Structure 1
Amino acid sequence: MVNQFSRSELLFGADGMQRLYEAKVLVFGIGGVGGYVVEALARSGIGRIDIVDNDVVSLTNLNRQIIATNSTIGKYKVDVMKERILEINSNAVVNTYPCFYLPENAKEFNFSEYDYIVDAIDTVTAKIDIVVKGKEFNVPVISCMGAGNKMNPSSFEVADIYETSICPLAKVMRRELKKRNIDKLKVVYSKEVARKTIDNKSDEVSNKRAIPGSNAFVPAAAGLIVAGEVVKDISGVR
């Protein structure tokens, strides 16, 4: 019988699609990378997607985030993403967490109930804790490294964290995970050297924290690669 996942089933088979339907995936971060992760998970038939992000859609998200339109500015990203998921797959179960994840609020999440965890956030402390929780509860984690200030989407690779190079965020993660006796972590990272941003006097970049440059294609590519790994691992078809 023809359905919205008929084309996917030609590749993954009925058993693979059933595994995707039964899967529960937790995604941290619904930004330039995470939004495309969730988009692809929804279109691949993942049965339950829980999404975590405390931010609202802003004007400067329009250049790269799939949920960002003029009509969604000011709305919570998790709310916009949930509505989009259900427009794609009305049978999906979506739970939203409009919060900023840190070790202090980890108890709000029952990590043991998930089949896969996606880390698409920027805060190192939170990224590390997510990986630690994944190991503690024996749930696979995939983590995206830096996508800012880059122009080449073809430079992304899938690798273990200890096989990465060039990416400064990956270097920090390697060091911190080694301290915690984490011996492996699947990541998506870029071998492209980050560019220096062009001087900009806008209000956004005049604060103390440096704002990375971004575009429509690099974070999107990273997010789709992450989602592909999740879908292939859960379905068992690679």
Structure 2
Amino acid sequence: MNLSNVKLQFALTALGASLATGIAILSYQDHKRRIRAEALKKEVSLIPKTTRNIHLNGEVAFDESLIKEQLARNIAFLGEEGVEKLRKSFVIIVGIGGVGSWAALMLIRSGVSHIRIIDFDQVTLSSLNRHAVATHSDVGTPKVIALQKHLKEIAPWAKVEPIIELFTKESATKLLSGDANFIVDAIDNIDTKLFLLKYCHDKKLPIISSMGAGAKADPSRIQMSDISITIEDPLARTVRRRLKKMGVDSGITVVYSTEKPNVKLLPLGLFSRKLIMVVYIYICISVVLFYDLFSCIYIFMQKKIKYKMQEITRLYQTSDPESSLY
């Protein structure tokens, strides 16, 4: 290759200049990102710890440009107006388990700036396989407090209201107050779920309800429809029938799956089989002993009654016949 060639030198110069320009632009963008990231970290660190811990209830003032940068991909997808509408929304989530915790997490990540999370239960080890954010350090902590702590780490400017309380008929008005834009039903107790749905239907409160998802794994079968037209979902069927008895035929949006779970019971282990055998033998022995005890009591009572009858007969026969006339 002859470097003295003018055209070749020009091409190499242009290529080198392009590479240098590209590297400079990328370096500048990376530098700007680092500066903005450091600014965000610094701003977060300036918030007093007493207002950043799990007891934080109020809103935190943040640089609007930093919030918009965090929500940049949301803005690109939903547009400025769409994200602004989300940020002004207020959502209440009842039930913060395997469904409610994920709903709350994604609402916050989507830009919703005000949510109320309601649940009376605590995080357990068995919760960790499905809860959106809970870790070992959260075990024993109320679910709403654990969730609030993690959500504030994601969006410190968001208002997260944790309420450690069981949803009941008596507390419904208080818990659902505030003119929410939407209520999410993620309750796993059917009686409580039915009351919440009936209450929202009667009060004309916008609600979306989660139906059964146990042992289902096909996301392509997930549907959203009115409760009146759900199919292939045992929980939805039960809810639909019981709501109809309560005077609600339609008007409630639900999320459900048309997938038919094909789950077989796991085979019993050796210990389980031995345990069942021991219980069976114990029941058999108990039945035999109870029968023997009952038989003994019956025979004893029979003999006692017979003895009493004989005693009465003997006394009657030995008594003065004339005295019985007076």
Q: TM > 0.5 between the two?
A: yes
Q: TM-score, normalised by structure 1?
A: 0.78
Kindly indicate whether the alpha-carbon contact (under 8 Å) linking 2:93 and 2:183 is maintained by their aligned counterparts in 1. yes
Residue from 257, 261, 266 that aligns with 1:198: 266
> Which secondary structure does the structure 2 equivalent of 1:91 belong to?
coil
1:162/1:60 Cα in 2 relative to 1: closer, same or farther (>3 Å)?
same
Match for 1:189: what amino acid? Answer: Y
5 Å matches for 1:88-99?
88-99=154-165
Kindly indicate whether the alpha-carbon contact (under 8 Å) linking 1:149 and 1:196 is maintained by their aligned counterparts in 2. no
- Deviation digits for residues 142-169 of structure 1, max 9, x if unmatched? 0000112323333211111111112111
* Aligned length in residues: 204
Q: Aligned equivalents of 1:162 and 1:71: distance in 2?
A: 42
The RMSD of aligned alpha carbons is 2.2
Match for 1:99: what amino acid? Answer: E
Match for 1:95: what amino acid? Answer: E
Corresponding position of 1:58? 124
Corresponding position of 2:292? none
Kindly indicate whether the alpha-carbon contact (under 8 Å) linking 1:112 and 1:137 is maintained by their aligned counterparts in 2. no
Corresponding position of 1:144? 210
Corresponding position of 1:28? 94
Deviation at 1:200, TM superposition (A): 6.5
Q: Aligned equivalents of 1:113 and 1:200: distance in 2?
A: 51
Match for 1:49: what amino acid? Answer: I
Deviation at 1:76, TM superposition (A): 0.8
Q: Which runs of 5+ in 2 are unaligned?
A: 1-64, 272-326
Deviation at 1:77, TM superposition (A): 0.7
Between 187-196 and 113-122, the greater mean CA deviation after superposition: 187-196
Corresponding position of 1:14? 80
Q: Where does structure 1 differ by over 4 angstroms across 4 or more consecutive aligned residues?
A: 199-202
Corresponding position of 1:158? 224
Higher relative contact order (CA 8 A, sep 6+): 1
What's the % identity of the aligned pairs?
Answer: 35
Q: Aligned equivalents of 1:109 and 1:136: distance in 2?
A: 16
The answer to whether structure 1 residue 115 and structure 2 residue 181 are counterparts is yes
Kindly indicate whether the alpha-carbon contact (under 8 Å) linking 1:53 and 1:97 is maintained by their aligned counterparts in 2. yes
Match for 1:192: what amino acid? Answer: E
Kindly indicate whether the alpha-carbon contact (under 8 Å) linking 2:201 and 2:252 is maintained by their aligned counterparts in 1. no
Corresponding position of 1:178? 244
Corresponding position of 1:68? 134
Kindly indicate whether the alpha-carbon contact (under 8 Å) linking 2:225 and 2:254 is maintained by their aligned counterparts in 1. yes
Q: Which has the larger radius of gyration?
A: 2
